[in-house]
Amino acid sequence: MKPVDILLVLVIAAIVAAAVTYIVRAKKKGVKCIGCPAAADCAKKCCSGCASQQSDSQNRV
C-alpha cells in the first residue's frame, strides 16, 4: 500500500469513529431521533413525527 492509501484509510476510519461516538453520546443523553432538530423533545419514536410536530407548533404561533 502506498502512503496515500494508508492516509486515506486513516481519514475514513477517523470519520467513522467520530460518527459512532456522536451516535453513542446522543443515545446516552436519551435522544430518540438523532439529527432531528427537536430530537430531545420529540415524543415520537420516529423522526417523521418530529417534523410534523415542529410544523404544527410553528403554525400555531
Q: What distance in Å separates the CA atoms of residue 45 and residue 60, rounded to the nearest whole number?
A: 23
pLDDT confidence bin for 12, thresholds 50/70/90: very high
Closest Cα to residue 37, out of 52, 49, 51? 51
User: How large is the average pLDDT for residues 10-18?
Assistant: 98
pLDDT number for residue 46: 55
List phi, psi (to 5°) of 31.
-70, 125
Say whether pLDDT at 4 is over 80. yes
Cβ atoms of residues 33 and 47 within 8 Å: yes
Cβ atoms of residues 23 and 34 within 8 Å: yes
Say whether pLDDT at 34 is over 90. no
User: Quick check: pTM over 0.75?
Assistant: no
Say whether pLDDT at 10 is over 60. yes
